[in-house]
Structure 1
């Protein structure tokens, strides 16, 4: 494996871990300014994931099925960005918004596991 590929893979894992740390900071933050800063940081950290997921996805499929692969990615992602905000909102109405963000932390842990698992699998 090329040195640049190993660096990129390590960067993705570190980025995913930082996302989780930022979300945990949101959950446990008690100061408004810190919470706002952590929300902005989490958004900036999660931003690069979608283009990278697209690149990883398209690298695993032949050109003939790229459209179908992207369609499936968008369909499953649409379920996620529809369901998870409702779950976070339901939890937030029963307790606090910070507790609702624990759902996002769980999603971040799953994302970290998927990214790490992909890179371990791809290294073989």
Structure 2
């Protein structure tokens, strides 16, 4: 697509890039990083999927988050790829996302911290 030299890129989210060539170059660098580090790619995907699940469900009760995660095929597949137990991956995913501020605990429910429409 970059070889088509588009004048405008209409992304699925976020602002329209002012410089399409620079936007493609940045996207290719990000994609290459994921290819070069498969474990990081698994983590990236897990964080995104989990955050979107929290958005879609308007949060998940804190005491149900880890059982919810370990019942998801994407998490068990990710755990296999990372060579860890699904419950260990679920625990680490919740812990790291809380620590980073990507998720928040509010009224006994875990929520995505990113601004999103209900």
TM-score by length of 1: 0.28
Specify which structure has the higher proportion of strand. Answer: 2
Specify which structure has the higher proportion of helix. Answer: 1
